[in-house]
Amino acid sequence: MQDFWIILIVSLLGISASLLGCFLMFRKMAMLTDAISHSILPGIVIAYLLLGRKDNVTALLIASIFGILSSLLVVWIEKKLKNRNDAATGISFTFLFAVGIILVTLFAEQADLDTECVLFGEMLYIPFETIWVSTNEIPRTLPFALLTFILVVLFVLFAYRTMTIISFDEIFAISVGISVTTWNYILLSLVSVLTVASFEVLGSVLVIALFIFPPATAFLLTKRLEVMFVLSLIFSVLTIFLGYYLSVWQGGSSAASIVIVQGIIFTLALIYNKKVASVNS
């Protein structure tokens, strides 16, 4: 039952991340997840210091605000650097992540955080940190994982057509009255909330990987967005399942094992893509 809870909750978070990651991939904004996942660290530490607990909704909101602010900071720096998104992203996340590391170093005991958990999360503790709902005992992280999953699915269903137009032809989207900036901020806000909700369990390394690897692998195999959604979901759940049991077998980090499996499957897809391209040429 313990393995079931771990795989279920990580899969819910992974599916949510891969769905948003597909939009980010087409918008060429995938590395913003790196910036957000690192820059929310100061918000998480400050929230824990102020509230004294990890499972408070207010803490989630405070940390999410930092993620949104980092997105705004990237956009602002990008404009100042004449559309150099790579430099803007690097400046934003390295500075805010450094601030977060300093806060963790100074206030680790009060915030109940350590640098290892920041990187790799506490996935194996999922079944042991529980709450009571009615007469049932469930993992404490399940409500957050389920809520973010529902929010992301609703967003995809509601915004699919609009986001598809924006992703494939931004100029046309603007010409028909779609506010590209507004939809970008809504997307990045969801990414921020999901990142914060996942951070404690998954750690920064796996959070980034779940946003990028499954959509990138699917992108190698198809350019149709709806097919890409399906493939990325399959890759997300499959790599979580295989990576978790790989870590059980070899006794290493579950988060790192999942990322390794994702890297292997991405490499296989890349080799397949090159072979198909060479045959067609």
pLDDT reading at 54 higher than 60: no
- Work out the pLDDT band at 99, boundaries 50, 70, 90: confident
Q: Give me the number of domains the chain comprises.
A: 1
In the numeric block, which tokens belong to residue 198?
């996942």
**The model's pTM:** 0.85
**pLDDT higher at 85 or 157:** 157
- Ramachandran quadrant class, 17 (left: phi over 0; alpha: psi -120 to 50; beta: rest): alpha
Task: Let me know if residue 223 belongs to a domain.
Answer: yes
- The C-alpha angle with vertex 30 and arms to 259 and 33, in degrees rounded to 5, equals 70
**Is the torsion defined by CA of 151, 154, 160, 166 positive or negative?**
negative
Residue 78 has pLDDT above 80, yes or no: no
Asked which of 6-10, 110-114, 122-126, 205-209 is least confident by mean pLDDT, the reply is 110-114
Query: Rounded distance, CA 97 to CA 51, Å?
Result: 21
Where in the chain does DSSP place strands (E)?
130-133, 136-139
- The amino acid that residue 13 corresponds to is L
Please give the residue range of the domain that contains residue 8. Answer: 2-117+134-280
Query: How many C-beta atoms lie closer than 10 Å to residue 248's C-beta?
Result: 14
> Tell me: the pLDDT tens digits for 100-149?
778 777 775 555 555 555 666 778 778 887 888 777 888 888 888 898 89
Closest CA to 44 of 141, 94, 118: 118
User: Residue 128 falls within a domain, yes or no?
Assistant: no
Answer yes or no: is 122 within a domain: no
The Cα 84–Cα 73 span in angstroms is: 13
Q: What is the CATH number of the domain that holds 106?
A: 1.10.3470.10
What confidence category does residue 261 fall into, taking pLDDT thresholds of 50, 70 and 90? very high
Residue 106 falls inside a structural domain: yes
Does the pLDDT at position 266 exceed 80? yes
Tokens of 33: 């997840």
Determine the pLDDT at residue 210. Answer: 93
| DSSP string for 19-47 | HHHHHHHHTT-TTHHHHHHHHTHHHHHHH
State how far the Cα of 124 lies from the Cα of 2, in Å rounded to an integer: 9
Would you say 13 and 202 are in contact if contact means Cβ atoms under 8 Å apart?
Answer: yes
User: What is the per-residue pLDDT for 178?
Assistant: 87
In the structure encoding, which two tokens stand for residue 267, read together?
Answer: 């490499």
Better pLDDT: 162 or 276:
162
Per the domain annotation, does 127 fall within a domain?
no
- pLDDT attached to residue 215: 93
Asked if residue 69 is part of any domain, the answer here is: yes
Location of structure tokens 């009255």: 177
Please check whether residue 18 is in contact with residue 232, taking contact to mean a CB–CB distance below 8 angstroms.
yes
Q: Return mean pLDDT, the chain.
A: 81
Q: State both tokens at 157.
A: 């269903």
Most confident of 204-213, 226-235, 270-279: 226-235
**Residue 33 belongs to a domain:** yes
Asked, for residue 242, whether it belongs to a domain, the answer is yes
Please tell me the predicted confidence (pLDDT) of residue 87. 73
pLDDT tens digits, 145-183: 898 899 999 999 998 989 888 887 878 888 888 888 788
pLDDT digits (tens, 9 = 90+) for 18-29: 999 998 887 777
